[in-house]
Amino acid sequence: MPRVTLTNGVLVPLDPLPAEWEDGRDLIVQEPTPEQLAAEAQAWFEEMEAAVKDMDPRDPEIIQASIDEQKRLGKEYMRRLMGLP
pLDDT reported for residue 85: 84
The answer to whether residue 46 is domain-embedded is no
Query: What is the phi/psi pair of residue 13, to 5°?
Result: -65, 140
Q: How confident is the model at residue 82 (pLDDT cuts 50, 70, 90)?
A: very high
The answer to whether residue 26 is domain-embedded is no
pLDDT reported for residue 9: 94
The Cα–Cα gap between 39 and 45 comes to 10
pLDDT reported for residue 1: 78
Q: Give tens-digit pLDDT for 21-79.
A: 999 999 998 888 999 999 999 999 999 999 988 888 899 999 999 999 999 999 999 99
The Cα–Cα gap between 3 and 7 comes to 13
- Where are the strands (E) in 1-85, listed by range? 4-7, 10-13
State which residues form the domain around 65.
57-85
The answer to whether residue 80 is domain-embedded is yes
The answer to whether residue 38 is domain-embedded is no
The answer to whether residue 6 is domain-embedded is no
pLDDT reported for residue 84: 92
Domains: count for the chain: 1
The answer to whether residue 75 is domain-embedded is yes
Contacts of 3 (CB under 8 A, 6+ apart): 13, 14, 15
The answer to whether residue 64 is domain-embedded is yes
Helix (H, G, I), strand (E, B) or coil at 76: helix
pLDDT reported for residue 54: 83
The answer to whether residue 81 is domain-embedded is yes
Asked if 19 contacts 25 with a C-beta cutoff of 8 angstroms, the reply is no
